[in-house]
Amino acid sequence: MKFQEMACRNRRKPGPLYVVEHLEQGLEEWCRLEYQHICKIVPPERLLFLRFPSGQDPADLAPQGQAPPRTSSAALEQLRPDLTVEARPMDVEVPPGQERAPACVLPAWDRICLLDMDAEQALEPHDAANFDALVFGGILGNVITQEDGSYSSDDRTSEIRKLGFVQRRHLGPMQMTTDTAVLVSSLVLEDARPLVEIPFVDSPEISGGDGGDEAKASNSGLSDCVCMEGFRYVAQRRADGEWGPILPDGMADHLVSTADGGILDSL
């Protein structure tokens, strides 16, 4: 059984609402794969994608047989609970068979937490009692290597930090993909696992052709693998006994195929 599948089956308590603010133009393949992974981690009734691109079908993100996540073309700023009812859009799409809930139904602003590398406090299990919703930026952030060898990002989270969140938490000193941040947050809040108890792999080398969630380290040549320098992933044991990063299905092949002129140009 995959690590994240075990996590999803062993939840101790109901989790928060996971809100992804989509900050890219359109829905690139790397982003679609990440969002599909998120839909495997979080049940549809607790998942909301904002600024969702028009013309995209949320059902394409959901695993076979599972209802699609909720989506809205509105931005979080438009849905803030402190806005008047008249100012709130009402276009949230909900899975078939569920009661329609207006887009404006969000927790109180001080019960919403932004996951932010710039935050002073780390997310901890006891925060499960403090937050009813978590906000993630659906973005491709650039990794910056500092003179001392440490990493930082170009801080694209500032695009939503400006909304003035009362609560912010970080997940460690290294950048994570959106789906990794969601997985880590669910492990901390729903499985009560402190960050120090979650296995991570940093800057992994990823090879294509695995056809599943587990990426394989490879030294067979630059054309067959890519190093995700500056990124941190949740780790799990591979068949060879080594630790490898948990990736969305199809992501390893996509990263390798675009390494010479695609997604990695901005990393």
* Domain end residue (candidates: 157, 176, 194): 194
**Residue 121 in tokens:** 């406090």
- State whether 172 and 215 are in the same domain: no
Q: Are 74 and 124 in the same domain?
A: yes
Q: Residue 102's domain spans which residues?
A: 3-194
Q: Are residues 92 and 190 in the same domain?
A: yes
- Domain C-terminal end among 194, 217, 249: 194
Indicate whether 183 and 205 sit together in one domain. Answer: no
pLDDT given for residue 44 in this prediction: 95
Last residue of a domain, one of 194, 225, 251: 194
Which residues of the chain form beta strands (DSSP E)?
17-22, 47-50, 70-71, 112-115, 133-138, 143-145, 151-153, 167-169, 200-202, 205-207, 225-227, 232-237, 243-245
Q: Are residues 92 and 212 in the same domain?
A: no
197 CB-near residues (< 8 Å, 6+ apart): none
What is the reported pLDDT for 103?
A: 45
Number of domains in the chain: 2
The pLDDT-based confidence of 221 (bands split at 50, 70, 90) is very low
pLDDT at 146: 57
93 plus 221 within the same structural domain: no
Give me the helices (H) in 42-177, please. 76-79, 158-161
Highest mean pLDDT among 59-68, 96-105, 143-152: 59-68
Kindly state whether residues 189 and 143 are assigned to the same domain: yes
Contact assessment for residue 217 and residue 242, using Cβ atoms and an 8 Å cutoff: yes
